[in-house]
Structure 1
């Protein structure tokens, strides 16, 4: 019988190790651990060993000097298979590094070599209530320290990784609720539910949770988790509102799909108009918490219509490219109320490259994730179009478009949309030589450029 697995994610300092130690002390299961740290010393493994009865430390499998979602992925699969053969235990918990993306880890237990002996039950993301509220849920951010940039991984803005962890899970633990007021906690919960509508949200203090609520679940579904992020649902709802078919291209390695990176790449077009009705699910989602304190001891089920907390959700779709200079200027001066923006961009001067935009915290990353179908040979275009009869196709530009999901709190959404429209090429610029436009937008597959709202000189870093 496969051994159940729980993946524990969350940024550095969110309280993962505290929660893990509480689980070890309160659960009657025999738990094996995989603890990953990016530094040369695996501090988390030491802490877990010191705070539990694991006197020999043999049950703690430490993978050091790397991240299990990337460079040590082979070590992870081999190690957990070997662990299962050599030891007897009831449950495996994988504590990921604070800079690890959960989806690649999950796929190893669902589709990798470890899938034969393990059953992934749950992906749990631990969130620091104070830090999350001040970064993402506060209406005004004046006086709040700037979001940290890339840390040891050196590849992506840290805030972007935090939201990736929030968006790919089926259980969110909002920890350290003793550090926020009841109203601040409610705002944080409402925003978490908007960012990941299908995850259960549990609020707590000091990492105290019901072990059965974390280890006794059987609800994780890889494809559901991969497609259920709030920004993806915004785009799906917007597409459904236009009565278009699914234009995703699932067969071409040159395309922009990058499925295991969590990007949304639907190419079903739109008219150059915009409906400002919010496409968020207003029904709310149940979660367990108490209105008066941060403990997770109540049986209250609360619906959280996003508008009650000033949360705005909208989609932006245009069939006209951005001017690279004006777009870069906008990215360096995005409004404080914007929490998340993600999707595909069409930037003039990059006619082949489909570029994914991802904003979180104070930084935006632009990454080439593939090519537009329209940039392929006529023969290949015909092949893909014949397999997608509902794909919208412009006679001149093909499937090229900008398609973004926008999530904010206290945000003047119409004003942001107008600013985005101002970045589009004018009619005169559409007839100009786009190669003459200066741009630092990325060109190569996998290449990423990052711009910070603290910098006013355009795209700031090319990795």
Structure 2
């Protein structure tokens, strides 16, 4: 239950620093009594993290933060949330805009804020630079290559972090004019649930709502997310759905070409020889994560269905087939100038044929990895 004296909080994330700064500035300028909070990780490699607070007139405080361990999750736990609670108790501000650092994804910040009754998570916004969006989604840099890693052994890629920042929120602030139409289309394809706006005074209207982290997590889970085709000039999202399993050897052979076909692909697959296991497909540019997403619902005993989330049950009903249950291929590929015809042909060539159905597999190249 929300506390009577709860303070509104808006989380602003984004890989692109200038776009993020303009979005934060627009919010604190438009909303009276607001303050912005930012943890600066630029010198985290030297063991230094600074907390900066500012309002529409300038810097309020700039302090070094002492942490037991220097990483984003420790900062969240040990300083950000306690500081927000102190601000709430002081009662001097109606809104705090939490500006994350480049390599921080919004989901853990949103989860932490929403878990506190004294705080009201009003919105999660990701700010994007129109000129940098496509190069960053198509690039091959790790965060470490740009000095943006936020913990020891942070091996995430720039494309992965940017995709997570775009797909999670319900508001995307698109900054800049170069390639704006193409950038807007990409954002709408990657996150159809989000409102795409420009950084400006209209952002103030978004601070009176409430962001639901559970709903966002359910919307994003590729084990049951539902994707749709979309075509806007050069930007295309192709959804491939089939009712037959994939042949593991042919999939493995074609994998590099399939993954490279789009900037982002996600969904679930059914692999021959793994009748009960749903595999989650999560690819960023040419990097693929393929892992178990648990059992298909059709493989569960009836008594276990009560423990399955309502979102997953509803999605399974949309996929349900009398012969194979919810087992299917359901993948979405988003890219610029995507060769949909070639991609579909390649994917279809990996399906198990009627002659192969029921025959034992001679070789499964995924056997040791999944």
Q: Which TM class, normalised by the smaller chain length?
A: 0.7 to 0.9
Q: How many Å apart are 1:134 and its aligned residue?
A: 2.9
Counterpart CA distance in 1 for 2:359 and 2:143 is 37
Pick from 194, 203, 224 the counterpart of residue 213 of structure 1. Answer: 203
Contact 2:33–2:95 (CA under 8 A) maintained in structure 1: yes
Contact 1:317–1:402 (CA under 8 A) maintained in structure 2: yes
Task: Tell me the equivalent position of 2:183.
Answer: 188
Residues 361 and 382 of structure 1: CA distance in aligned 2, closer, same or farther (over 3 Å): closer
Pick from 140, 146, 162 the counterpart of residue 147 of structure 1. Answer: 140
Counterpart CA distance in 2 for 1:81 and 1:362 is 42
Task: Tell me the equivalent position of 1:175.
Answer: 175
Q: Determine helix, strand or coil for the equivalent of 2:166.
A: helix
Contact 1:170–1:225 (CA under 8 A) maintained in structure 2: no
Q: Determine helix, strand or coil for the equivalent of 1:312.
A: strand
Counterpart CA distance in 1 for 2:106 and 2:307 is 34
Q: How many Å apart are 1:421 and its aligned residue?
A: 0.9
Task: Tell me the equivalent position of 1:263.
Answer: 221
Task: Tell me the equivalent position of 1:94.
Answer: 98
Task: Tell me the equivalent position of 2:339.
Answer: 412
Task: Tell me the equivalent position of 2:195.
Answer: 200
Q: How many Å apart are 1:30 and its aligned residue?
A: 3.9
Counterpart CA distance in 1 for 2:10 and 2:347 is 41
Contact 1:170–1:220 (CA under 8 A) maintained in structure 2: no
Q: How many Å apart are 1:419 and its aligned residue?
A: 0.6
Q: How many Å apart are 1:430 and its aligned residue?
A: 3.0
Counterpart CA distance in 1 for 2:339 and 2:119 is 47
Residues 221 and 91 of structure 1: CA distance in aligned 2, closer, same or farther (over 3 Å): closer
> What TM-score, normalized by structure 2, do the two folds share?
0.76
Residues 100 and 267 of structure 1: CA distance in aligned 2, closer, same or farther (over 3 Å): closer
Q: How many Å apart are 1:411 and its aligned residue?
A: 1.5
Q: How many Å apart are 1:133 and its aligned residue?
A: 2.8
Unaligned stretches of 5+ residues in structure 1: 204-208, 227-258, 269-277, 281-305, 444-463
Residues 159 and 93 of structure 1: CA distance in aligned 2, closer, same or farther (over 3 Å): same
Pick from 266, 269, 277 the counterpart of residue 345 of structure 1. Answer: 269
Task: Tell me the equivalent position of 1:299.
Answer: none
Counterpart CA distance in 2 for 1:166 and 1:117 is 27
Between structures 1 and 2, the one with greater strand share: 2
Q: How many Å apart are 1:345 and its aligned residue?
A: 1.4
Counterpart CA distance in 2 for 1:57 and 1:23 is 20
Q: How many Å apart are 1:400 and its aligned residue?
A: 2.3
Aligned-residue RMSD, C-alpha: 4.0
**Structural mapping, 1:240-251, within 5 Å:** none
> What TM-score, normalized by structure 1, do the two folds share?
0.63
Task: Tell me the equivalent position of 1:247.
Answer: none
Counterpart CA distance in 2 for 1:262 and 1:370 is 16
Contact 2:261–2:343 (CA under 8 A) maintained in structure 1: no
Count of paired positions: 349
Q: How many Å apart are 1:99 and its aligned residue?
A: 2.9
Unaligned stretches of 5+ residues in structure 2: none
Q: Determine helix, strand or coil for the equivalent of 1:165.
A: helix
Task: Tell me the equivalent position of 1:131.
Answer: 132
**Structural mapping, 1:351-430, within 5 Å:** 351-377=275-301, 380=304, 390=317, 392-395=320-323, 397-430=324-357
Contact 1:73–1:105 (CA under 8 A) maintained in structure 2: no
Task: Tell me the equivalent position of 1:54.
Answer: 59
Q: Determine helix, strand or coil for the equivalent of 1:92.
A: strand
1:66 corresponds to 2:71: yes
Q: Determine helix, strand or coil for the equivalent of 1:57.
A: strand
Q: Determine helix, strand or coil for the equivalent of 1:400.
A: coil
Counterpart CA distance in 2 for 1:382 and 1:8 is 37
Task: Tell me the equivalent position of 1:434.
Answer: 361
Task: Tell me the equivalent position of 1:289.
Answer: none
Contact 2:103–2:143 (CA under 8 A) maintained in structure 1: no
1:33 corresponds to 2:23: no
Counterpart CA distance in 2 for 1:424 and 1:418 is 10
1:222 corresponds to 2:222: no
Q: How many Å apart are 1:326 and its aligned residue?
A: 2.7
Q: Determine helix, strand or coil for the equivalent of 1:97.
A: coil
Residues 225 and 212 of structure 1: CA distance in aligned 2, closer, same or farther (over 3 Å): farther
Residues 77 and 93 of structure 1: CA distance in aligned 2, closer, same or farther (over 3 Å): same
Contact 1:9–1:124 (CA under 8 A) maintained in structure 2: yes
Counterpart CA distance in 2 for 1:433 and 1:74 is 54
Q: How many Å apart are 1:62 and its aligned residue?
A: 8.7
Pick from 91, 94, 107 the counterpart of residue 103 of structure 1. Answer: 107
Cα deviation, 1:323-356, whole Å, max 9, x if unaligned, reads: 2333233331247662322111122344443221
Contact 2:279–2:292 (CA under 8 A) maintained in structure 1: yes
Q: Determine helix, strand or coil for the equivalent of 1:436.
A: coil
Q: How many Å apart are 1:412 and its aligned residue?
A: 2.0
Residues 176 and 267 of structure 1: CA distance in aligned 2, closer, same or farther (over 3 Å): closer
Residues 267 and 106 of structure 1: CA distance in aligned 2, closer, same or farther (over 3 Å): closer
Counterpart CA distance in 2 for 1:117 and 1:18 is 28
Q: How many Å apart are 1:376 and its aligned residue?
A: 3.9
